Amino acid sequence: MGRASELRALEAVLAAGSAEGEELLLQGDPGVGKTVLLDAVATAARADGAHVLRVVGVEAEEDLAFSALHQLLYPLLDQLPAIPAFQAGVLEQALSIRQGSVPGRFAISAAALALLQAAARREPTGGVREAGPGSA
């Protein structure tokens, strides 16, 4: 209720994103309705055939390495065979699926991007990140 302008802005970002990619950071204090808006735009994206990926920052996971990356990529792990074996191994190590030393951040970033690209080739993919106070 009373969020028509915000919802229109999110829908505009969604429409622009389907053509060439777009992002928006939705930020605000707890309880102001960010999740309701994100739920609405995620529903609209799914209705348009997009695979929606969501990451929610959880303070209790703040010290866990790659917890947000794990949330983002977990639904896509079935796509690991679609990326080079080295990159698949990097992600498996970073996400503690495979034993080994944690690879460097650049290798992890490149592998995550490769997995997202593989998933996007299969179906349109949209991402939603909910940020709390002090997030950047």
pLDDT at 17 > cutoff 60: yes
pTM above 0.85, yes or no: no
Q: Which residue has the higher pLDDT, 59 or 17?
A: 59
Are the C-beta atoms of residues 51 and 126 closer than 8 Å to each other?
A: yes
Residues 6+ positions from 36 with CB-CB distance below 8 Å: 3
- Percentage of the chain lying above the pLDDT 90 cut: 26
d(CA 100, CA 134): 34
Choose from 40-44, 48-52, 105-109, 119-123 the range with maximum mean pLDDT: 105-109
The lowest-confidence range among 11-20, 81-90, 119-128 is 119-128
d(CA 129, CA 96): 23
Confidence of residue 20 (pLDDT cuts 50, 70, 90): low
Q: What is the mean predicted confidence (pLDDT) over 67-91?
A: 93
The owner of tokens 């030393």 is 101
35 half-sphere exposure, CB direction, 13 A CA radius: 7
